[in-house]
Structure 1
Amino acid sequence: MTTLLNVETPAAEAAGVRPEPAITITAFGLPAPQGSKRHIGRGVMVESSKKVKPWRQDVKHAALDITEAHGDWTVLDGPLAVSMVFTFDRPKGHYRTGRNAHLLRDAAPPRPAGMPDLSKLVRSTEDALTGVVWKDDARVVEYVRLGKWYAGTTAADVLTVPGCVIRVWPLDEAVNAR
């Protein structure tokens, strides 16, 4: 079972989560889920979704830009807490028509409750960060926040265009040993 922590609570502090993340990455592009793999022969497997590779590249390039800006970045190799907030464009059906086409319908939801699957979005994004932000995605032991939102929603870390805001906190191993 995955644990979700609010980083500003005593429970988060007790778990060793620092208020400020070690790194915050904003990746722009269409978030794509890690789907099933397809066997094409001779032991070769390929992704079923053509959208996964561009998304991973967007995430990896955004992470490389941030880690290079840090200058002295070292790939994280201990237990980590992670937050990922995915942003998607709204479907055209969420908007009114005619001269009010720029306005949202009253019944337009703030969050996408359908495809893509959140856990598969997390898998593809974690894989893209392996070797750049962390040594292995198995180092992620807790999620602080995970979510899918529509662009322009006024929640924290929601972008105005498709993408994802990723925050990573190293956990204090001494605290976690208790």
Structure 2
Amino acid sequence: MTTEPVLTVTVHGLPAPQGSKSHKGKGRMVESSIHVAPWREAVVWAMRQQIIRQRGWRPLDGAVEASMVFSFVRPKGHYGTGRNARVLKPSAPARPAVMPDLSKLARSTEDAITTAGGYRDDALLVSYRRLEKRYVTDAGSVADVLDVQGAVIRLYRVEPDGEVTP
């Protein structure tokens, strides 16, 4: 089984979840988070830039496996004060087990990949190789964790026999 992705994209920006929509009257629905549109635009832009580099790219059409690693800045409360302002407190959590929901981050990103032409439809996703939230402080020690907020997205083709190929 080959493990190389057919497309790898780094997106900078605040990852935002696609969650519920609220009804504003007269048939108008609005995303519950104001950060969804900028995040989706950042994913579309980064994905299209990478697709341009892949001469002859056509949206994936068939079973797709994905990897998404979302990187977040730690809250200031995770650090000490004064001369310890750059030192993590012993009580600081190792992982961002807080909002936003990982599945909702994936949903907004999946839709943006469809818009950008990474794959024909997000219904083609059959599995995730990796789906994580991390803090930027893990950059350099954990693969695909950025030193700024954003995400590393990898797409893989899945062969009919279940094997993943480049």
Q: TM-score, normalised by structure 2?
A: 0.92
Structure 2 stretches lacking a partner, 5+ long: none
SS at structure 2 position matched to 1:156: coil
2:156 matches 1:169:
yes
Aligned to 1:19: 3
SS at structure 1 position matched to 2:137: coil
Select the residue among 39, 46, 49 that pairs with 1:55.
39
CA RMSD, 1 decimal:
1.3
Distance of 2:118 and 2:11 partners within structure 1: 13
Structure 1 stretches lacking a partner, 5+ long: 1-12
2:55 matches 1:71:
yes
Query: How far does residue 94 in structure 1 lie from its aligned partner after superposition?
Result: 0.9
2:135 matches 1:150:
yes
SS at structure 2 position matched to 1:148: strand
- Listed as ranges, the matches of 1:57-136 within 5 Å are 57-131=41-115, 132-136=117-121
Query: How far does residue 45 in structure 1 lie from its aligned partner after superposition?
Result: 1.6
Distance of 1:98 and 1:20 partners within structure 2: 46
Distance of 1:23 and 1:162 partners within structure 2: 20
Identity among equivalent positions (%) equals: 53
Aligned to 1:138: 123
Q: TM-score, normalised by structure 1?
A: 0.86
Distance of 1:73 and 1:104 partners within structure 2: 44
Query: How far does residue 72 in structure 1 lie from its aligned partner after superposition?
Result: 1.4
